[in-house]
């Protein structure tokens, strides 16, 4: 059997003698699930090296991203196009609906990662939020208040006023500095257009230097082909930021996350960022995209017209695959969805239960599922 001792936001794991043990492992390289029935203890230790480090206690940290789908307050901001999310707007967006949505989102966020760490997410990137106030209201809900999430947010020049941000638990992630990077999209007609910023955060995850880039790339509105250059341009900005930082901090760890509005096999990912879905093929300047495995199986994080897309992704730098046991390294990942987050009936059964159906409040959560990456290291 495996004995576990849980403390705060990390999970400490040790092994003891056991009888038969069933291990189910998922691997993109293998393409399919398989099961191993293992008897002797030394074989169990062999297969649990990434988590147990030959019987040593391990720490697990969870890092997530969640598109909160139009988390607006009810106040009309005269500088943005947010009129539909007001009491007088098309959505009839009232204080009651706003508070209900906060409660629903906080229920999801509270639950993410608790199978591994009782404090849940140490770090959470978010998108489609109107301002810092909605995040303050979110983190002060009954579900999240005890987590004491800190907020990093900058107002971006998006027409609708939606931004990206980072929530983090200060006892696990110490922030050193942050900076937004603006993007001017080069349109086909020769004009330019502003879009959501890329948020860069530098910090220490349990004394390990990590740079995090939070994204919400330009949408496919107007057509995938026509809008493709905009996402490629944003991807190239991410790569430029990372390459510049690597020239000064080559041993740092880098995480790119967000709603990228592209799938893992699109050019913005495979060429723009050099995100690869097979661990053995990831070079030192590349990124590993664990969600390529899910995409290859037909899984998604959002859907449109019955078609699944895997737009929400977390990419990790190569050194997070090959650290020594004293450093955080990739353990596993998931597209997070529980039954209560799904439509229970009708044409869109088992799809994300979104906030609105047209202009009718749907008592949902988001039109996207959260995504999570788990990192592990040997406990000190």
Q: What is the DSSP string of 125-193?
A: EEEEE--HHHHHHHHTSTTTGGG-EEEEE-----TT--EEEEEEETTTEEEEEEEEE--EEE-TTS-EE
Q: What is the mean pLDDT of residues 145-156?
A: 97
The percentage of the chain sitting over the pLDDT mark of 90, rounded to a whole number, equals 78
pLDDT exceeds cutoff 60 at 324: yes
Instruction: List C-alpha distances in Å: 311 to 53, 65, 303, 339.
Output: 34, 11, 10, 21
As a whole number of angstroms, the distance between CA 174 and CA 285 comes to 25
Best CA proximity match to 320, nearest among 274, 280, 288: 288
Distance of CA 156 to the CA centre of its chain: 20
pLDDT exceeds cutoff 90 at 19: no
What is the chain's length? Answer: 380
Instruction: List C-alpha distances in Å: 52 to 23, 60, 276, 331, 347.
Output: 14, 11, 27, 11, 44
Contact of 369 with 65, CB cutoff 8 Å: no
| Strand partners for 258 | 215, 313
What are the phi and psi torsion angles at 298 (to 5°)?
85, 15
pTM of the model: 0.86
Per-residue pLDDT band for 56 (boundaries 50, 70, 90) equals low
What are the chain's domains?
2-52 (no CATH), 58-378 (3.60.10.10)
pLDDT exceeds cutoff 80 at 262: yes
pLDDT exceeds cutoff 60 at 48: no
Is the pLDDT higher at 305 or at 309?
Answer: 309
């Amino acid at each position: 059997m495996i004995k576990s001792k849980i403390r705060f936001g990390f999970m400490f794991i040790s092994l003891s003698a056991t009888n038969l043990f069933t291990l189910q492992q998922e691997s993109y390289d293998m393409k399919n699930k398989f099961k191993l029935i293992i008897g002797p203890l030394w074989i169990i230790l062999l297969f649990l090296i990434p988590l147990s480090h030959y019987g040593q206690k391990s720490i697990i940290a969870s890092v997530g991203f969640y598109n909160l789908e139009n988390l607006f307050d009810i106040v009309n901001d005269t500088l943005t196009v947010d009129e539909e999310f007001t009491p007088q707007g098309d959505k009839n967006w009232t204080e009651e609906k706003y508070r209900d949505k906060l409660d629903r989102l906080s229920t999801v966020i509270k639950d993410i990662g608790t199978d591994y760490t009782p404090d849940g997410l140490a770090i959470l990137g978010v998108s489609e939020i109107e301002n810092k106030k909605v995040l303050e209201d979110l983190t002060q809900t009954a579900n999240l208040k005890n987590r004491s999430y800190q907020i990093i947010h900058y107002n971006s020049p998006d027409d609708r006023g939606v931004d990206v941000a980072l929530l983090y638990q200060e006892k696990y992630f110490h922030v050193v500095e942050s900076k937004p990077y603006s993007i001017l999209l080069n349109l086909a007609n020769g004009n330019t257009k502003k879009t959501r910023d890329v948020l860069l955060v530098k910090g220490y995850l349990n004394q390990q230097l990590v740079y995090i880039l939070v994204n919400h790339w330009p949408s496919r509105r107007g057509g995938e082909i026509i809008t493709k250059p905009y996402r490629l341009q944003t991807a190239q900005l991410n790569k430029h930021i990372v390459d510049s930082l690597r020239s000064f901090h080559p041993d740092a760890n880098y995480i790119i996350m967000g709603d990228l509005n592209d799938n893992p096999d699109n050019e913005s990912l495979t060429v723009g960022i050099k995100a690869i879905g097979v661990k053995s093929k990831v070079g030192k300047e590349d990124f590993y995209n664990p969600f390529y495995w899910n995409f290859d199986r037909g899984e998604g994080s959002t859907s449109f017209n019955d078609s699944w897309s895997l737009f929400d992704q977390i990419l990790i730098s190569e050194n997070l695959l090959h650290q020594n046991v004293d450093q955080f390294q990739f353990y596993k990942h998931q597209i997070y969805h529980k039954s209560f987050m799904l439509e229970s009936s009708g044409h869109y059964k088992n799809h994300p239960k979104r906030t609105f159906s047209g202009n009718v409040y749907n008592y949902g959560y988001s039109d996207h599922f959260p995504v999570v990456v788990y990192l592990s290291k040997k406990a000190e």
